[in-house]
Structure 1
Amino acid sequence: MLQQTLTIRNKLGLHARPSALLAKTAGLFKSSITLTSGSRSVDAKSILGLMTMAMPCGTELTISAEGPDEKAALESIVELFENRFGEEE
């Protein structure tokens, strides 16, 4: 299993569009991908689960990937966060 801790940097946090993009990207991989913030964890392939986390800008979270393509999955998701999900701020 691979893990990485990230901070949400886009101004509006993990709202509907980034959640959809994250779930879509996670769904491309066979690995199990989980986001954990505080004591709550959700399946990154579930847009509903991601939206219920209500993670604003500045939230620190851990991404975990486990499976046959875990390295590629983690790299793709980290890239989304680093690029602020394509948002300006």
Structure 2
Amino acid sequence: MPAAAFNLGVLLAGAGRVEDAEAVFRRAAAAGDVGAANNLGILLAETGRVEEAETVFRQAPAAGHVVRSPRSCSETTPAPWQTGS
């Protein structure tokens, strides 16, 4: 289920349904999906909720996940929730 939830979150974010994407990413992250946790952190940061994003990124090592430098989607292309597409 985590892979399906991750994909659903990406789909929802792409459709501009940021709140729904956030909820799905949170559930998938809680189930151990590192990619969903990363996307949640990026979504939070890019919607101005930097402190929440920092918390998400800091929780990863505590859960035993490998942490890579988070890279904003906007460094290459705008994130779906930024363009409304």
- In which range does the TM-score fall when normalised by the shorter chain? 0.3 to 0.5
User: When you count strand as a share of all residues, which structure comes out higher?
Assistant: 1
- Normalising to structure 2: TM-score of the pair? 0.33
The structure showing larger relative contact order (alpha-carbon pairs under 8 Å, at least 6 residues apart) is: 1
TM-score of the superposed pair, with normalisation by structure 1: 0.32
